[in-house]
Structures are given as C-alpha cells and as structure tokens.
Structure 1
Amino acid sequence: MFKNNKASLAIIAALSGLTLAGCGGGSSMDTTPNPVVPPPASSAPTWTAGVFEPSDDLKNFCETPRTGNDPFNNNEPYPDQAGSALYEKLWLRSWSDETYLWYDEITDNDPESFDTVAEYFAQLKTEELTDSGDKKDNFHFSEPSEDYFQEAQSGVTSGYGINWAFIGDSADRILRVAYLEDDSPASQIGFQRGDTVLEVDGISINTNTQAGVDTLNEGLFSPTNGDSHTIVVRSNDGAEKTFNVTAGNIEQTPVQNVKTITTANGTNVGYMQFNSHIGVAQEGLIAAVNKFKTDNVEELVIDFRYNGGGLLALSSQLAYMVAGSANVQNRIYYQTQQNDKQPVESPFPFIDEEIDYSTFFSTGESLPDLNLSKVYVLSTSGTCSASEAFINGLKGIDAEVVLIGDTTCGKPYGFTPTHNCATTYYTIQFSGVNSKGFGEYAAGFTPTPTPQFDADVKGCVVSDDFDNQLGDPNEGILSTALYHIDNNGTCPVSTASASIKTQVQSAAGDSKQLLPLNAPDNFNRGNMDLTWPTLNKDK
C-alpha cells in the first residue's frame, strides 16, 4: 500500500496519454518569448544505419518551432529550438531504439526516404504478428500536444459528447450511440443510447464514395468547437429523428449512473458506470464508494464496457477502494517489464490515499473502502489497458473477479506519452504483471462459466444491449450480472452470444476515420492508456 503524505507521483502513461506533467521548459520565471536560434550548420544530424545518437541530444529541434510561453507548463517558455524535419525524425528513431519494448524488431529505414515526420513515426514499430495472426503492435499513435494536455488536465475534449459504437464487422457500418457525456450538446437536444446513425449532412451512412465518407468523418468524428452538423438517427422505438448539433468543449463525466439496486432476492448491489481512468474521475469514484458504504451494498458491479484505460494510479486506487487493506495485505498491484536497455522499476502498490492530480502529490487523505473479496466487471472488446490492469491486479491478490459481457481488448502494454515539437507520441515501452507474476492477456480476458486458462475469468458471455439504457436492471449485460448474483453464480440459459464485435469511439468525437475505408490501427483504443507512477519520496 501507499502511505506517504509527501510522496510525489511522477506519472508515466500508456496508450491515450493522460499524464499531467509539463512538456519541458526551463526554470526561469522570465515570461518574454523565447528566441529561436538555428543550430550551427556543422551540427546538422545525419543518418547512419545502426548508429544512434542519444535522443536527448536531438530533442526539441523542430522544423516549425513554437515561440512564446506554454500555458500547460506554468507559462514557461517553450523548449523548441530551430531544427528540421530530419532532426525530429532522428529524435524519434533514437527515442524508439532506447525505449520501445521490441526495439530490435524495428527496421532501421533511412528517415529521409519518408516525406513527413508522421509517416516516418508510423513505421517505427514491429511488424511481427501474434500467434493468432493479429498485429503485435496495434497501439502506436500520436496527437497534438495541445489536445493531450487539454484532456489530461481538465478532461475536456472537443465534440458533441457522443461516444459512438461500431457494431459488427467493419463492412457493416452500423453506428450507434454507446453513451453520452452529462450536460453535453448531444444529451441536451435528445440523443439517446442506442440511436442508430442514418445520415450526416445529407449523406447516407452507407455512402460508397470517398467524398461522402469524408463528409461522414467530418460530421461524426472531427467536429471542433462551434461546428454544426445535421445528423439523422433511428431511435430504439423505430422513429427517425433529425438533430442539428453544435460541437463544444466537452467536460467528460467518467463516473455515471451510480446507484444501489436491490435484486429479486433482496441483495443490495452497487452499480456504477466508469468510462475513463482520468484524474477528474477520482472525486466521483470516492463519492460512489461512500454511497455504497452508506447503502450497505453486499455486491458491486463496475461497468467498464467502454473504459479504454487511463491512469494506472487511479486504477490502483479503485482496486484498493474495492478490496480494502484486509484483502490487499501489502501486496503489489503492478510490476513493469521493460526492454533490456531500461532499469528495473520498483513494484507499484495498491494506493490507499487521495492524489492531487494537478501536482501528483498525495493529499494524505485516506480513501474509503468496501472491503469486498469479489467484484463484478461488465466488459466489451472496448475494455482496455488500465481497466484490464484492475482485473489482473485483483486476481493477483486472489480477489474474485466475475466478468460479464465480452472478451476484453487485450492490452497488457503501456508507454510514456512523450512530447516533442508540439506533438505527443505513444510507443509501447513496457508490459506489466500482477502480484503473482501474470500478465499474459494480449488476447484479452475471456468470461466463461468454467475457466481453464490463466486469462479466463469466471463469468458469462453476453452481447452488449443497445436497446436499454446503461444502469437499467433490464439491460442485457447488467441483468445477467444480477441473475448471476441471485442464482449462486450461474449464467442464465438465455444469455446471448457476444460474437458481434463492438468498437467504441471514445469521448465527444476526436479524429477517427469511419470504418471501413480509412480505419487506423488504434481506432478501438478509446482512452487506452496505462499509467505508471513512480513513487519518489521527499526527504
């Protein structure tokens, strides 16, 4: 466990980037714009196959350096210096060679043979396949640093507040509303879970032209604050509805639908929908646990079906609040495994204190706990990363996890979101294991009434139910969990197959492409980040 009132938490994140650290800059309080001085011609970098300069010597030399002060780093001057695209590429190359988990599987191609920095970064990863034939690395991406810090520090994204779900195979192109952010533009004008998109700005969802797909992508996934689009949907009752919706800056509501449900047999069951492990979720999780304590819940259901991950620190806090000190017994929550160029990290504990996620210091305030030895987790293929670490961490201390829904996404990997020249990069840098040393769930955790393998979890397979609202006891996955509670751990005979694939596009509409034409590898990542805090004790 974590007991240190003055301990600072230096966050390392994975696969979506929710670290709240600054992106550089000196310690000077001078607020005048930083001058941009070109490097001497003699220092221009060159590429030699197999020879790697230290990444620190190449960092912050930018083709288009920023000037002025960084609003996300205490208004410190930007660290950018005048450089070139080659500088940026060679920094990426060295950084990848130093930190990428499978660095020896990267082909060392000439960076000058790639037109852009983005194209060069895209291939700085393994091309190996898993035993099942899937890509070994599906989690390699980047985003503008401004977007990263805006979401990380406030949970704010630009969009409508709709979290979309693609249903079935990519060719089916069935797009439905998975859930809505509270008080968002979409929720205020009447969008509901289950609404199925028919057309956008007059273009059918089934268009087969590139121009049409571009219109759909723009209207659904790329709206910026102030943009308005017309979306026609079919609701669950069969009625067609036309909405003119304007994008705004959306404050995410990661904890929703907190309630206590009494089953037919009189069992008090706590339920909460938890969508993303971001820092602003801490307050909601604490409030939910305190409510469940007051309500004397006997069982707990956590709805992770659309939770693509987030801060590992928050995942550890939630695991502690579920299990409590009596079940944790000072065992570890997570242990990283990095490449052979990196030092061995200290094990990561169950955290039993609140964290100030703006500074990454413990507040010294103890977390409430439920002291439960069993928890129900609702899952889909969009349940990823820090959500899977929660499952694995509790299994590592022999807490009983019951999985209801579909096989999780399978991402036992993490990385540090790293900033350079106004872009934040994510490349896999570690995997993780629990207290028992297990972390081999790259194919996901699978619910089954009769577990046989290490990645099998006791539970029931059932399809996501878009015809009922989340938190409704009649909704398919939740009703299956309640049945399992009331019937001595058995699955209902009518449990539906979860063979229909669901891909969730998270939060409000960040830049994703409409399947099947230009789907990126990381479409299904949602907020798939796994965050690793290193505990640095102050003297």
Structure 2
Amino acid sequence: MKSDANTASLPVGRNALSATLALALAACGGGGSSPPPTGGPTPTPTPSVATCAVQNQIAFANDVLNEWYLFPDLLDNTVNAADFNDVQSFLDARVAPARAQSRDKGFTFATSIEAENELINSGSSAGFGIRLSYDTVNDRVFLFEAFENAPGFAAGMDRGTELLAIGTTANNLVSVNSLMASGGPPAVINALGPSDPGVTRVIRFAQVDGTVIEASIVKADFNLDPISDRYGALIINDGGKSVGYLNFRTFFPQTADAQLRDAFQLFNSNNVDELIIDFRYNGGGLVFLANVIGDLLGENRVGQVWSRTVLRESKSSENETRLFQNEVQSLQASKVAFITTGNTASASELVINSMVPYLDPANVAIVGRNTNGKPVGQFGFDFEECDLRIRAVTFQTLNANDEGEYFTGLASTVPNTCRAGDDISVQLGDPAEASIATALDFLSGQSCTPISGSGAQGAQSVGGLETLQPERPNAAQFEIPGLF
C-alpha cells in the first residue's frame, strides 16, 4: 500500500482538504503508504453519537474519495450512502469499478488511527506473532514465519510448524483438519480468536522435526522486528564468492532505517556487490523506508531520479520526484535477485521497479512467484473524533523511465524472472532453501524457468500455499499478510 506511513501524522502543509477533513499524509505502499498529519495526538476518542454516527463517517469517506481518489472515473457514483451501515462496505462499493480493473485490490480501506499509529511509530502489534498459510487441498495450516520476540516463537513455533488443533482449553481442542473441512480458513481464523492481548488459546502443533507440542499461549503486545537477528542480514559464501542476503519482513516501523543501515554496513565490510533481497512476505508499508533502501543501493547515483509520485490531474500540484540521496553505507550492486511471491506488494514493488532502470537487464531478476501488482499508494485521512482513518488510493509511483503499470505484477516488466518454490521446511537465509538456491543460481549466471504468465497470482499466493488472512484485516495484518 502506498502507505508510506512515515510518521504518525504529517500535516498536509499544502492544500487543506476541507474544514471537516483532517488529511493524514501517511503514505503507504506503491506503492506504499503515507502517514497521517504529524504531531497528531494518539486518539482516545469519546465521540458523541451524533458526531460519530455511521452516516457521518460514511460522508467523510465519500468526501475523501471525491476529492482525492486516484481514479475518479472509476468510482461508482450510483452508490447510495444510505444503503450502508459500515464504512468499509461503502468504500468497497464506491471503488468497485477500479477493483474490477485490478487497480484497487482492497487498497482503499478504513482503519483505526490509534492502531496504525502504533504500527508506524513502534511496530506495535498484538497476537501470537506468527504468520500463517494454509493448504486447502489437504486441510492443513502451517507457519511460514515467526517473530522472535512474540509468544508463538517462545512456545516453540517457527517456520514450517504445522498447527494441529486449537481450543480455548485442553478439553475442547478441535483439529485444524476438522475446522478446515467444516468452515475453511475462516473457521481457523475464528478459532484463533481476536488479536487482543490476554486472549489465550491452547494449540497443539508439530515442529518441522515432527515433535508435537501442546501449549497454552497468551496473545500479547510485541514490536515487529523488520530484520530478524537470526537470518535478516547474512553473508552467504557461494563457492568462494560473498553474496549479501537481506530478508526485509516489513516496511514498519519507521525506525527500521537504522537496521537497514546496519545490514548494508555488513555488506560493505564484506565487499559485497551481489545481493539477494528477500521480499517474499513483505506486503509493503512506509515509502520512507523504500526510499532508504534505494539510497543504500544508490552509490554514485545521488541526484538521479529514484521515483516519481503522481496524483490525479486535479491534484497534480502535489506530484513529486524523489532523487537518490547520499547514504554513508551505500553500495552499487552489480547483480540483484529479488525473492518475491504474491504477498510482495506496494513498497517492496516500488524498490524493485525503481531499481530496474539502474541495473544491466541481464543482472536483475525476481525469483519465486509473481508479485501482487500494487503500483499505487494511499494517503491517510483522519476523522479523529471517531478514531477513523481512511486509507484511500491517491497516487501512483513511477520509476526513472516513467514505468509503473504493473497492476498484474512485476513478472511482465522485470527483465528476468525465475520460478522457484517456497520451502517452509528450510529456514529463511539458508542457501539450500528453494528460492534462495534459485537466486544464487541466477547470480552465478545459470539459466532458470521463467515465472509463467503475466497476470498476478493474487495477494495471498505464497507458492503452493495460500496466506491465511481475515476478510477484514486489522492495520498490522493489512501490511503484514498472515499475521496472527
């Protein structure tokens, strides 16, 4: 999402939207996201019934779309606000024509100001801290990742763990196989319970080595760590050649720039000039951090065009061109392989698209699966009294060659693609893992099987498994697919 959510709330400082709208330039995505207007207090609203009546919130959302939506000709103007009793359903109806053209695949949504600000500022989330996928054919659910500072990992869960049964106590465990067979993924999501601190579930699970554990796990607040201390930044010795490996989980929180600089310091100290950047599960986030990655890849490119942000014609005065800026730890890689899946979206795609003009066509590839296809981003618009933020698609991001029409994914625009699996039985960062092994082969000049087709494989596709995602994800789940 162009939820370049930079800071919790940046004042527009350019045009006022209207007296009734608080514009939160929280750019997310593109894409990425932009944060809301800076300096805004963390809302603890106690709104009056009149102020926060649903119809007032819908009217606010309608004003946002009418003035700022990137594709004004793709809004359904026949929609009657009186027919809706929640903001998200109204938004879905209004942007349906854009969604039908794959230009807004759930990118316009309503969320909580407070929850998203916590995500932007500190990476705060609540839950087990695990990311889940499912196999509908065999009715099984697996972890594709676990955050090390969260309850799931502490209980013994990690990449490749299979959930076997879920209950509120040890006496009412229901097998995941039964849940999937009776109600599909929503039944599993319901069984896991709300993402609130203190929610407890007894879960029986099998680790990769076959060890079965049954544990009572309490959901808790935890801070997202965008670069794992275990496998986030590594030097891979590939036949005597040092290859830098960066696994960037999420473009949140905004303080992740320090971790990125540390990673590139590691690469520079090992004279790395070939990189694997692993975005396979990265759903995007702050454009600010995408720009930092660009600068770190931009040695000798300071002052050249990194990306262009383009709004609708009536807002063209807001268009911006972002140039490479100086970074002490910058490097100029000769070859880069980006690992991607259908979960790779927004700010992740921005980085890839913006680097293409600066790499020899023979020396850049996406490896794994096609990306989501989100070259657009959102600004955030706040109705503070109601803790309501409207994330509306408001801009498109182009690279230095003015390319940015990858609504069906980057496979049709990146010079090289290499199809590869996502082997969840092997830890991320391991050169034997299927996608990493294929990326190393590409960097070594070996041929590969292209990613077939030009169409995006869907936001949930992770190669063989589908991401477990609620129909109405919370702020963290929208940016970090599969998070529970």
TM-score range, shorter chain: 0.7 to 0.9
Distance in 2, matches of 1:191 and 1:76, equals 35
Aligned twin of 2:397: 432
**Is the 1:379–1:407 Cα contact (8 Å) retained in structure 2?**
yes
Deviation at 1:418?
1.8
**Is the 1:415–1:430 Cα contact (8 Å) retained in structure 2?**
yes
How many residues in Structure 1 have an aligned counterpart in Structure 2?
Answer: 438
Distance in 1, matches of 2:185 and 2:342, equals 25
**Is the 1:464–1:476 Cα contact (8 Å) retained in structure 2?**
yes
Distance in 1, matches of 2:38 and 2:243, equals 44
Deviation at 1:335?
1.2
Distance in 1, matches of 2:331 and 2:261, equals 11
User: CA-to-partner distance for each residue in 1:51-82, whole Å, 9 max, x for gaps?
Assistant: xxx9624447xxxxxxxxx9973579979775
Q: Which of 363, 370, 376 is the equivalent residue of 2:337? A: 376
Spell out the pairing of 1:464-483 with structure 2 (5 A cutoff): 464-483=422-441
1:418 partnered with 2:381: yes
Q: Is the partner of 2:196 in helix, strand or coil?
A: coil
**Is the 2:8–2:120 Cα contact (8 Å) retained in structure 1?**
no
Q: Is the partner of 2:310 in helix, strand or coil?
A: strand
Distance in 2, matches of 1:274 and 1:322, equals 14
Q: Is the partner of 1:56 in helix, strand or coil?
A: coil
Distance in 2, matches of 1:434 and 1:213, equals 38
Aligned twin of 2:410: 445
User: CA-to-partner distance for each residue in 1:227-283, whole Å, 9 max, x for gaps?
Assistant: 21112223323343323211111111101212111112x101111210111212111
Distance in 2, matches of 1:387 and 1:55, equals 29
Deviation at 1:352?
2.9
Aligned twin of 1:263: 238
Distance in 2, matches of 1:208 and 1:76, equals 38
User: CA-to-partner distance for each residue in 1:330-372, whole Å, 9 max, x for gaps?
Assistant: 221111222222124343324535xxxxxxxxxxxx4311222
Distance in 1, matches of 2:287 and 2:103, equals 24
Q: Which of 405, 424, 440 is the equivalent residue of 2:368? A: 405
TM-score, with structure 1 as normaliser: 0.73
Gaps spanning 5+ residues in structure 2: where? Answer: 23-36, 168-172, 451-460
Distance in 2, matches of 1:105 and 1:213, equals 31
Deviation at 1:485?
2.7
Q: Is the partner of 2:106 in helix, strand or coil?
A: coil
Distance in 2, matches of 1:375 and 1:304, equals 12
Distance in 2, matches of 1:336 and 1:72, equals 24
Q: Please tell me the residue identity of whatever aligns with 1:411.
A: K
Alpha-carbon spacing, 1:208–1:302, altered in 2? closer, same or farther (3 Å):
closer
Q: Is the partner of 1:416 in helix, strand or coil?
A: strand
Q: Is the partner of 2:358 in helix, strand or coil?
A: coil
Q: Please tell me the residue identity of whatever aligns with 1:414.
A: G
Aligned twin of 2:314: 341
User: CA-to-partner distance for each residue in 1:384-419, whole Å, 9 max, x for gaps?
Assistant: 111111011011334542221111111111110222
Spell out the pairing of 1:35-114 with structure 2 (5 A cutoff): 56-59=18-21, 73-74=40-41, 83=51, 84-108=53-77, 109-114=79-84
Aligned twin of 1:331: 304
More helix by share: 2
Aligned twin of 1:9: none
Q: Which of 212, 215, 219 is the equivalent residue of 1:247? A: 219
Spell out the pairing of 1:55-454 with structure 2 (5 A cutoff): 56-59=18-21, 73-74=40-41, 83=51, 84-108=53-77, 109-128=79-98, 136-167=104-135, 173-201=139-167, 202-206=173-177, 207=179, 216-220=188-192, 222-256=194-228, 257=231, 258-264=233-239, 266-278=240-252, 279-324=254-299, 326=300, 328=301, 330-352=303-325, 366-398=327-359, 400-420=363-383, 421-446=386-411
Q: Is the partner of 1:123 in helix, strand or coil?
A: helix
Distance in 2, matches of 1:77 and 1:57, equals 21
Q: Which of 9, 34, 38 is the equivalent residue of 1:22? A: 9
Q: Please tell me the residue identity of whatever aligns with 1:287.
A: D
Q: Please tell me the residue identity of whatever aligns with 2:59.
A: L
Alpha-carbon spacing, 1:105–1:298, altered in 2? closer, same or farther (3 Å):
closer
Q: Is the partner of 2:443 in helix, strand or coil?
A: helix
Distance in 2, matches of 1:299 and 1:230, equals 45
Distance in 1, matches of 2:219 and 2:162, equals 19
Q: Is the partner of 2:89 in helix, strand or coil?
A: helix
**Is the 2:290–2:348 Cα contact (8 Å) retained in structure 1?**
yes
User: CA-to-partner distance for each residue in 1:114-166, whole Å, 9 max, x for gaps?
Assistant: 223343233221335657xx675332222221111111110110011112223
Residue identity (%): 22
Q: Is the partner of 1:91 in helix, strand or coil?
A: helix
Alpha-carbon spacing, 1:238–1:135, altered in 2? closer, same or farther (3 Å):
farther
Larger Rg: 1
TM-score, with structure 2 as normaliser: 0.80
Distance in 2, matches of 1:492 and 1:112, equals 52
Spell out the pairing of 1:2-13 with structure 2 (5 A cutoff): none
Alpha-carbon spacing, 1:221–1:376, altered in 2? closer, same or farther (3 Å):
farther
CA-based RMSD of the aligned residues comes to: 3.5
Q: Please tell me the residue identity of whatever aligns with 2:156.
A: G
Distance in 2, matches of 1:273 and 1:464, equals 14
Distance in 1, matches of 2:313 and 2:94, equals 18
Q: Is the partner of 1:390 in helix, strand or coil?
A: helix
Deviation at 1:294?
1.0
Distance in 2, matches of 1:71 and 1:310, equals 17
Aligned twin of 1:526: 479
